[in-house]
């Protein structure tokens, strides 16, 4: 009952974001001594992509979950609070899409090598 009330979809997104952020160490293990320069360059650019995506996924999920809880508990009197899950998913998607656009602009204009 506790997990169901704590919105497991957001718990999964937070954990997934943490795993992706932690997994950024894998591309950092590739260097140009053992791999081609092209492969090393791709892995060098993969590091900020993975880290930003994981971080924004985790923090946006936490923010959206806190926003939903605030909506529920800020109702006056005995009114029933309307906090639909799709309203909260929109917040997560907006943050992740914004981060994606920033990373895309950075990759196109000045990629890491």
Q: What is the pLDDT of residue 88?
A: 77
Q: What is the pLDDT of residues 1-59, one digit of tens each?
A: 555 566 788 888 899 999 999 999 988 888 778 888 888 888 889 999 999 999 999 99
Residue 96 has pLDDT above 80, yes or no: yes
pLDDT tens for 81-94 read 666 778 778 888 99
Can you tell me the distance from the alpha carbon of 50 to that of 11, in angstroms, rounded to the nearest whole number?
A: 19
- In which residue are the tokens 């971080």 written? 55
Q: Are 30 and 39 in contact (CB under 8 A)?
A: yes
Mean pLDDT of 90-104: 93
Give the mean pLDDT of 56-77. 83
């Amino acid at each position: 009952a506790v997990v169901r009330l704590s919105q497991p979809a957001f718990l999964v997104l937070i954990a997934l974001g943490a795993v992706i952020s932690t997994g950024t160490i894998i591309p950092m293990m590739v260097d140009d001594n053992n791999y081609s320069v092209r492969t090393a360059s791709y892995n060098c650019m993969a590091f900020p992509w993975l880290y930003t995506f994981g971080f924004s996924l985790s923090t946006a999920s936490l923010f959206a979950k806190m926003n939903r809880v605030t909506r529920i508990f800020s109702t006056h009197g005995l009114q029933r609070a309307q906090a639909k899950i799709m309203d909260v998913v929109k917040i997560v998607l907006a943050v992740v899409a914004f981060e994606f656009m920033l990373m895309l602009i950075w990759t196109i204009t000045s990629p890491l090598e």
